[in-house]
Amino acid sequence: MTKITDHIKAANGKPIFSIEVIPPIKGDNLKSLLDNIEPLMEFKPPFIDVTYHREEYIERPMPDGTIHKIVTRKRPGTVGICSAIMHRFGVDPVPHVLCGGFSRDETEDFLIDLHYLGIDNALVLRGDPAKPFNTFKAKENGYAYASDLVEQVANMNQGIYLHEEETSLAPSNFCIGVAAYPEKHFEAENHDVDFDFLKLKVDKGADYIVTQMFFDNRKYFDFVDRCRQHGITIPIIPGLKPISTRRQLQILPKLFHLEMPADLVQAVEACENDQQVRQVGVEWCIQQCRELTAAQTPVLHFYTMGKADNIMKVAREIF
Ligand code: FAD
């Protein structure tokens, strides 16, 4: 399969359309996810990201009145979905690979599975705290930061596996993506510290960056400028999402620690119904895309969050 960085080179300055999808809730059918993606193939995404969802801890009341604590996984299936995307659409999948919930050995097994499947791209992340906890805790013999996981993947790319002393092991060939936050990661004390740790991920082997969603392009442009000043030269892919409900004005800033531009808030609040909100969201996103395209942004990467129709409307205007 082709590396993301090679897709970018091959596009020769033309912006690439790409999306991120989320596995269905456990027990749901994969068909609706694939049917949702299908119409977007019109815009020829060379790659599709598939998120990974770690375990959650829930309390379940039992008939005898006691409470059982159970560990569950609400959205399993990342690797299977990657394989389905490859086979159904012939598109490169990009599985998200997390520190959270994994020991180093489990990570190695996971990466070997991906390598055997012919998957050569991975977005390497720390992951959020396991629900319902507020702070991230590394698994025993796992990693606390994405930079350490980047190092493990980069080592495998050189044929360096855990616990093996042999030096002639078959190397993997992963193109390594990492996450970044134009509006700062919520745990970082300040932007400078956050940049230093982003630089560490790059120094340890990241090949490209994907940003958290943002609604004010100025934040992305400033972020790219500051990355370049910090010596980060790899591609920086902007993450985009058209607003589709009024509620998202509150939910998205809370979930993703971002600010909504006052003009967007005002336009959404002036809407009389959901359809108008969706229209405002699509138009705002189209404007963002036009500006990003004019600035020669390599890829426009859309967070589908289970919905594709508004992204279709944006893509029709841009690609
Ligand atoms: P890191 O790069 O490890 O950074 C986490 C925090 O630690 C930052 O504040 C950073 O400044 C700080 N830090 C980093 N290194 C060090 C160090 N050595 N010492 C001290 N502090 C340090 N989550 C999921 O669970 N599944 C997904 O599929 C998923 N996909 C995502 C896709 C994108 C594009 C983005 C932007 C996020 C995604 N997330 C996903 C969310 C992500 O896991 C969280 O934002 C998480 O809190 C941070 O992940 P990271 O890889 O950026 O962490």
Instruction: Provide the H-helix boundaries in 158-203.
Output: 191-203
Ligand 1 contacts CB of residue 238 (under 6 A): no
Cβ contact 245:274 at 8 Å: yes
Alpha-carbon gap, residue 172 to 257, rounded angstroms: 35
At residue 236, what are phi and psi to the nearest 5 degrees? Answer: -120, 110
Ligand 1 contacts CB of residue 23 (under 6 A): no
Indicate yes or no: pTM above 0.95: yes
Cβ contact 303:20 at 8 Å: yes
Strand locations in 172-254, DSSP E?
175-180, 208-213, 236-240
Give the Cβ contact number of residue 95 at 10 Å. Answer: 25
Domain boundaries, the chain: 4-241+300-312
At residue 101, what are phi and psi to the nearest 5 degrees? Answer: 85, 0
- Tens-digit pLDDT string for the chain (319 aa): 899 999 999 999 999 999 999 999 999 999 999 999 999 999 999 999 999 999 999 888 899 999 988 999 999 999 999 999 999 999 999 999 999 999 999 999 999 999 999 999 999 999 999 999 999 999 999 999 999 999 999 999 999 999 987 777 899 999 999 999 999 999 999 999 999 999 999 999 999 999 999 999 999 999 999 999 989 999 999 999 999 999 999 999 999 999 999 999 999 999 999 999 999 999 999 999 999 999 999 999 999 998 899 999 999 999 9
Distance 132 CA to ligand 1 centre (A): 17
Cβ contact 155:209 at 8 Å: no
**Reduced DSSP (H G I as helix, E B as strand, rest coil) percent helix, strand, coil of the chain, to 5:** 40, 20, 40
Ligand 1 contacts CB of residue 301 (under 6 A): no
* Class of the domain covering 4-241+300-312: alpha beta
Distance 96 CA to ligand 1 centre (A): 12
Task: Supply the pLDDT for residue 1.
Answer: 87
Considering only CA atoms, which residue is closest to atom 29 of ligand 1? 51
Considering only CA atoms, which residue is closest to atom 49 of ligand 1? 126
Ligand 1 contacts CB of residue 8 (under 6 A): no
CA-wise closest residue to 299 among 248, 234, 252 = 234
Amino acid identity of 312?
Answer: M
Ligand 1 contacts CB of residue 78 (under 6 A): no
Looking only at the bridges linking them, the beta strands covering 208-213 and 56-61 are: unpaired
Ligand 1 contacts CB of residue 125 (under 6 A): yes
Alpha-carbon gap, residue 281 to 10, rounded angstroms: 31
Q: How far apart are the first and last CA of the chain?
A: 23
